[in-house]
Amino acid sequence: MKELVVLSGKGGTGKTVVLASFASLAKNPVIADCDVDAPNLHLLLSPTVKERGRFSSKKVAVIDGRLCNNCRECVAACRFDAFSIIGNEHLQKVAIDADACEGCGVCMRVCPSRAIRLKEQDSGEWFVSETRFGPMVHALLAPGGENSGKLVALVKQKAKVMANRTGAETVLVDGPPGLSCPAIAAAGGADIIVLVAEPTASGLSDFARIADLCSQMKARTALIVNRWDINSRVAESIEGEASARGIQVLGRIPYDEMVPSLLAKGKTPIESSDGEARAAIVDIWNKLRDME
Amino acid sequence: MPAKSTGTSTDHPTENDSSYRRLAGLQASKRNMVRISIASGKGGTGKTLVATNLAAVAADAFLVDLDVEEPNCHLFFDGKELSREAVSRRVPFVNEESCTHCGNCAEVCEFHAIVSLPKNVLVFDELCHGCGACSMFCPEDAIEERDHHMGEIIHLSASGLLGLTYGRLRVGEASAATLIKRVKRGMTNNRLTIIDCPPGTACPAVESMRGTDLCVLVTEPTPFGLHDLKLALDVTKKLRLPHVVLLNKAGLPGPDIKKFCADNGLPIVGEIPLQRAIAETYSEGKLLVRDPGFKKLFESMLERILKEAEKT
């Protein structure tokens, strides 16, 4: 079983469309959406949820007002400015800002009256579903949720277990934008990372940074330039940068007006009988299969 | 935190006033304290396009790029670097000579950033939140905290702006929100400040939006755009953050964003049409507002945004 992860650094370059297209071309894949805070793959794959569960990873400190003797040891010890003093001059109380709290537990350990404890906070939900292309694992982080990297790792792990059970040859992973914890978690353990870049000044800068991350992680990496004809000069610069780094250039996808219309109907470019984007993606998929 | 404007009405501008003069003159005191965040949920909807062009037509704004993972605003301005500060966070360093391998540090670490083995202690810098529990509760005083480089903050002078600041996360560093907090700490609060936020709805996006006077949610009429707009609205609701919508790529065949906004009482501050020329200008790293037509469009959007910010 091989794991293919699509990443981009910059958002909106077309990761989800490319991944959904691969899903419609692959033989018996397991599909995973690891963009857990703004997932979109389900909008194209219309999954039927078979199994779901809550995800909680973040803890926050809560104070038992009956036990608190207002000594403020917690206020002094907290490095995240999560504590504040509320009330007036006659009656003052210590309060916790749950958003600022990182759940380190220092306050709980320094509290002489044992008035503080850590409480698990609901951080999201995961789903195992069925789609027209195969089983899919996806998730939704609670708004403003932390530890999205852990939810990404959970989705990937469930997808692998599923692939082992069904004997799937490929796990196809739609990654998040950016290059911090969720992207690092998505890239971890990938057999191949496919970077989708757009030919813009921003796209070139962002490609260089995500390519740095891939090489730090020692992952085999390949490049697709999407909507290349918006700026062929920048497209060439990105491909040149890729070649210089030993990243294989898989191909270019042209700007194709059919694509937005297909997406609006919840279809991948492959599910149309023709189209320039379709032809390019089929060609890229065949190259990817030859790489293995 | 910037001071909030009080929301009193201003004189009606005359027809021949340029929007700039109206904004700069009549509302100078209020406008000077406004912080506007440009966010989206979905990536690639045009946050940076909007932030850079709005800041350029404002002519007296600070532009702050909080997308520290992939900062791009600076690519659109001929900037001169004024200063660059390295940002680090504190991580534990175990002095093996004093360590008795009692395992206390690993036990108190909620983030599993320290593993205590019989003969040595392993520290995973990337998992460390810098809370200090390990050194605080080490009975041998064997743990000191050392600097771990996590990125930098760059200040630029740029023509047409009061200044441009951006954070740049070190590649491989996991916690973007920590650097975002540090960039925010240095922000001025007596000038109009336009903030480009990272995509998503997780902690980096939330940290960037938090504390601003108004959040402009940039969206596009695609199924993805609408879906992620709804997710972004969950965040603004949670933060009790006043917000408006800006519709980019208007004309794409997709869901009716205007109807969604009307049904939900969301003001739309402007529309940017779907035009290949816009994508091409953006791709060259150039500002749209060099074109007089687009300049007018962004001036009117800025005016509308500042009016909405004033209501808050």
Lowest mean pLDDT among B119-128, B233-242, B273-282: B119-128
Inter-chain contact A40–B223, Cβ cutoff 8 Å?
yes
Q: Is pLDDT of B187 > 70?
A: yes
Average pLDDT, chain A: 95
Query: For residue A165, what pLDDT is reported?
Result: 95
> For B274-290, what is the mean pLDDT?
97
Contact B157, B82 (CB under 8 A): yes
Inter-chain contact B253–A213, Cβ cutoff 8 Å?
no
Residue B28 banded pLDDT, cuts 50, 70, 90: low
> For B168-185, what is the mean pLDDT?
95
Residue A237 banded pLDDT, cuts 50, 70, 90: very high
Q: Is pLDDT of B32 > 80?
A: no
Domains and CATH numbers, chain B: 19-77+173-311 (3.40.50.300), 90-148 (3.30.70.20)
CA distance A127 to A95: 35
Q: What is the pLDDT of residues A71-86, one digit of tens each?
A: 999 999 999 989 988 8
What values do phi and psi take at A38, rounded to 5?
-145, 65
Q: Is pLDDT of B29 > 80?
A: no
Centre a 10 Å sphere on the Cβ of residue A273 and count the other Cβ atoms it contains: 5
pTM: 0.91
Q: Is pLDDT of B13 > 60?
A: no
Query: For residue B30, what pLDDT is reported?
Result: 65
Query: For residue B17, what pLDDT is reported?
Result: 40
Taking the Cβ of residue A182 and every Cβ of chain B, the question of whether any pair is shorter than 8 Å is answered with yes
Residue A91 banded pLDDT, cuts 50, 70, 90: confident
218-237 in chain A: CB under 8 A from chain B: 227, 230-231, 234
Query: For residue A292, what pLDDT is reported?
Result: 66
Residue B19 banded pLDDT, cuts 50, 70, 90: very low
CA distance B37 to A81: 23
Inter-chain contact A106–B132, Cβ cutoff 8 Å?
yes
Shortest Cα distance, chain A CAs vs residue B12, angstroms? 40
What CA–CA distances, in Å, run from B29 to A119, B4, B17, B26, B58? 44, 11, 19, 8, 14
Domains and CATH numbers, chain A: 2-56+124-291 (3.40.50.300), 60-120 (3.30.70.20)
What values do phi and psi take at A58, rounded to 5?
-85, 140
Query: For residue A92, what pLDDT is reported?
Result: 84
> For B88-109, what is the mean pLDDT?
95
Taking the Cβ of residue A206 and every Cβ of chain B, the question of whether any pair is shorter than 8 Å is answered with yes
Q: Is pLDDT of B113 > 50?
A: yes
> For A216-237, what is the mean pLDDT?
97
Shortest Cα distance, chain B CAs vs residue A11, angstroms? 4
Residue scoring higher pLDDT (A97 or B167): B167
Inter-chain contact B69–A260, Cβ cutoff 8 Å?
no
Which candidate from A102, A141, A149 shows the least CB-CB separation from B131? A102
